Structure 1
Amino acid sequence: MSARFWRQRTKALPSISVLVMSMLLTGCFGNDEDWHGKNISGLMPELEFDLMNSQGEPVSGSDYDGRVRMLFFGFTSCPDVCPTALQKLNQVTSSLAPELQDEVLTLFVSVDPQRDTPERLANYVDFFGDNIVGLTGTEPQLRELAKRYRTTFGYDEPGPDGNYAVSHSSAIYVFDRDGSARLLIRPGLKAEEIRHDLVALIQEDS
């Protein structure tokens, strides 16, 4: 497995959950032959949060019920992992049949609330397509959400210019229409493989 899965730039996440790491390394999540992503059904809690969207409005997980959702933690100043992942997800959703495109939603959660204002977050997610929502919150809210999905994030010391790097996981969590956690997408998965899984989830709930 590529070390970049748990790295932002070259910095590892020393406090990342040992449980999740061991599961990913050993394949303990299981991987049904029908799925390209890791099958996490029954191993992660349902989609639930109370955050703020890129319009500055409070939102909860239930506000986006009825669609297959992909949850991804990141930040707008991310130099590589975030734009690469969001470009791939936009490629995937754009390649779906027109009648299926609105059935999938990407939830991009910024873990850098100090810099990622609603306006900045809105400009960022708009660049990556229509079916993506920018979310953020207070650091305690974000810590609670990250813990819920057995991951974490961290901040480097600011440089002379005040800028700093943010360490975070590159995992993408996929939830079905009912909000149940179903799949974990890793960076190495091809766009067509992700597309296959999304179409399968859409069709099983149709």
Structure 2
Amino acid sequence: MHLDDLQGAAGVRGVALQNPLGKPDIRLTGTDGRSYDFRAATAGRLTLLFFGYTHCPDICPTTMADIAAALGVLPAADRAKVSVVFVTSDPQRDTAAVLGAWLAQFDPSFIGLTGSFELIAGYADQLGVTLERPRQQPDGSVTVSHGTQVTAFSPDGIAHVVYLAGTKVVDYAHDIPLLIAGRT
């Protein structure tokens, strides 16, 4: 895929929100162990926010890999204007170290956040992201049910678009420059 393949298409390919969402006041702990103020740290940047977990067998790693691949085909100037924030839905197993190592496999600039499940679930609920407490199965495995949408907050702090599981790399790469420019 080349950037030339992305030019000329009008409008974003993500799912338009009928009711845009303001950036929530998320305050959790980063992989460095320090408090992370989501609004302040991502102010003026296109921010892609995803709730998931590192032991996920399918959607979470695929989504992070697809976003990383899309960012990889964009000019460095665009890439520098994007924050990708991953909030764990399995904070008992996703310690800061686990979260940091897992995200670094995709892109070392990706931000991982953790905190109490109750706090994380409250933030997810503000955005309409389904999140259920992790449940241990009889075989010892853990099931973590969570929404699969990536919420895209434009540099003005408003989300007009979400991306669902299975969004293609080319669609992220097409939309990111438009979202940076405030075109939704």
* TM-score range normalised by the length of the shorter chain: 0.7 to 0.9
Aligned-partner residue type, residue 110 of structure 2: I
Give unmatched runs, 5+ long, in structure 1: 1-32
**Equivalent-residue separation in structure 2 for 1:65 and 1:197 (angstroms):** 19
- Show the 5 A alignment for 1:32-181: 34-40=11-17, 42-61=19-38, 62-154=40-132, 155-161=134-140, 163-181=141-159
**Equivalent-residue separation in structure 2 for 1:41 and 1:201 (angstroms):** 17
Offset at residue 41 of structure 1 (A): 6.4
Aligned-partner residue type, residue 196 of structure 1: H
Identical amino acids, percent of aligned pairs: 27
Number of positions where the alignment pairs a residue of Structure 1 with one of Structure 2: 172
Aligned-partner residue type, residue 135 of structure 2: D
**Equivalent-residue separation in structure 2 for 1:45 and 1:178 (angstroms):** 9
1:37-71 deviations in Å (ceiling 9; x for gaps):
11226432324201111111111122221210100
Offset at residue 158 of structure 1 (A): 3.9
Offset at residue 125 of structure 1 (A): 0.7
**Equivalent-residue separation in structure 2 for 1:71 and 1:203 (angstroms):** 18
Offset at residue 160 of structure 1 (A): 4.7
**Equivalent-residue separation in structure 2 for 1:150 and 1:74 (angstroms):** 14
Q: TM-score, normalised by structure 1?
A: 0.78
**Equivalent-residue separation in structure 2 for 1:159 and 1:75 (angstroms):** 20
**Equivalent-residue separation in structure 1 for 2:24 and 2:153 (angstroms):** 7
**Equivalent-residue separation in structure 2 for 1:90 and 1:165 (angstroms):** 26
| Segments of 4+ moved more than 4 angstroms | none
Offset at residue 164 of structure 1 (A): 0.8
Aligned-partner residue type, residue 79 of structure 2: Q
**Equivalent-residue separation in structure 1 for 2:157 and 2:18 (angstroms):** 11
